[in-house]
Structure 1
Amino acid sequence: MKSVLVLLGVLLPLISSGQSGLTDKGLFFPKPSNNSYVSLTPQKPLNLEAFTLCMRLSVDPAVVDKKDRETILFAYRTQYYDELNVWQEKGKISLYMSSSEGAFYAVPLLSIFRTNLTLTWESSTGLTAFWVDGRRSTLQVYRKNHKVQSGGVVILGQDPDSFIGSFDINQSFVGEISDVNMWDSVLTGDQIRNFNEKVWVGPEPNVLNWNTTKYKVHGNVIEVPKKYK
């Protein structure tokens, strides 16, 4: 018995320090907070000149739709900069990359029902677009010749104003996030629409893969089991 207890004492800190893979699971953020978030470990450094980022999200409209509220959808921060942030704000979906000037899209906003949201960007042209449930927005040119820098952390649920800290309860995500996948290239429209239908025939996500990524839960975040998917 003593040896079993010793083994548990070794294993439990390892288990609580992080887990791998969220296949068929979601992450539910039940209420606003300034300490509840999930950190994801990328499969490769986010040293990017192009990317496709896909997520499935639903929100609590009673919180997120409040006038003038900003809600963070995805955050990647290095020590000094918000390298890549996606927001719902001012009645639009927006993208910021190491700049106080964002790209704003008047696309259908998130709701209580699950939305498939995809963002594409490439440095060489600056061409950027959002896809909502398989439908593409008009293109914009944003941050041409820019490069996303490595050495940061991916955060779901909060916007870090310092390196993994300084969270604002009024910007926190309230709702459910799942299937966060990222590639270091711009996928084709057919591939994105296939992701929308959960019939995947494209390349495996090589930056963030929801099925295999290492993650750590902080605060009040509920892992939603497969039966609710």
Structure 2
Amino acid sequence: DCSHATLFFYCCDGSTTSSDRQVLVFPFETDFSFVALIPQKEMGLRAFTLCMRVATELEGERQIILFAYRTPDYDELNVWREKDGRIAFYLSGDGVFFHLPPINTFRTSLCLTWESRTGLAAFWVDGRRSTYQVYKPGHTIRPKGTVLLGQDPDKHLGDLEAMQSFVGEVTDLNMWDYVLPRSQIQALHYEHKITKGNVFDWATIEYQLNGNVMVVDDD
């Protein structure tokens, strides 16, 4: 079953090819295409670093979901490009908003860091950090949910909306259950080897494809 694979890609004939250079392509706006990511450990998180390289041609006043993690009753961690172009993330409620350089047709290296102890949150774009904002100190992200790329589930794996779907490319998605130091985030942007993500490691990530999503080599 090639719908369940890893990006250290297991093909249907049983052969294995190294694929940490693969890209997920979402070619069309839909209410059914998504990729479910399977974490390497439970996502009960009190801190995290989430990084990906992302590109889109979508413009205008339209929400775009960049990352969605939901448990049955809560949007635990959602990252959006908002209608006004700001980038926001939400932890089980009202979000926090950042004015960042626009995500466009050229791939952006985007990281997000947050820790519960202080509430300090920041985005990193191509190795440069935004200003810190204080957001939900003391909060804990709940485990046992589902991570989706491409769609925002308004209930557990349901109520998908085409006008919020992601169209474009995602690659190099990695996640850690702690805040990476500046030197590591900048090294990741320049594609240097750093500590592998212990929640998601793009080189070995497990995923399930649904609908019209392509996995292509990044040549």
1:116 Cα offset (Å): 0.1
Opposite residue 157 of structure 1, the aligned amino acid is G
> What runs of 5+ residues in structure 1 fail to find an aligned partner?
1-14
Matching residue of 2:186: 193
Q: Distance in 2 between matches of 1:207 and 1:112?
A: 28
1:226 Cα offset (Å): 3.3
Please report the TM-score for the alignment, with normalisation by the length of structure 2.
Answer: 0.92
* 1:147 matched to 2:140: yes
Matching residue of 1:10: none
* 1:158 matched to 2:151: yes
1:17 Cα offset (Å): 4.6
Instruction: Say if 2:174 and 2:201, in contact at 8 Å, map to a contact too.
Output: yes
Q: Distance in 2 between matches of 1:119 and 1:109?
A: 15
2:86 to 89, 92, 107: 92
Q: Distance in 2 between matches of 1:132 and 1:213?
A: 23
Matching residue of 1:53: 50
Instruction: Say if 1:38 and 1:215, in contact at 8 Å, map to a contact too.
Output: yes
Instruction: Say if 1:29 and 1:222, in contact at 8 Å, map to a contact too.
Output: yes
Superposition RMSD on alpha carbons, in Å?
Answer: 0.9
Q: Distance in 1 between matches of 2:20 and 2:170?
A: 13
> Where has structure 1 moved over 3 Å in runs of 4 or more?
none
Matching residue of 1:18: 4
> What runs of 5+ residues in structure 2 fail to find an aligned partner?
8-18
Matching residue of 1:215: 207
Q: Secondary structure at the match of 2:72?
A: coil
Matching residue of 2:70: 77
Instruction: Say if 1:88 and 1:109, in contact at 8 Å, map to a contact too.
Output: no
Instruction: Say if 2:37 and 2:206, in contact at 8 Å, map to a contact too.
Output: yes
Percent identity among equivalent residues? Answer: 48
Matching residue of 1:178: 171
Opposite residue 120 of structure 2, the aligned amino acid is L
Aligned residue pairs, count = 207
* 1:27 matched to 2:24: yes
Please report the TM-score for the alignment, with normalisation by the length of structure 1.
Answer: 0.88
Relative to its length, the structure with more helix (as a share) is 1
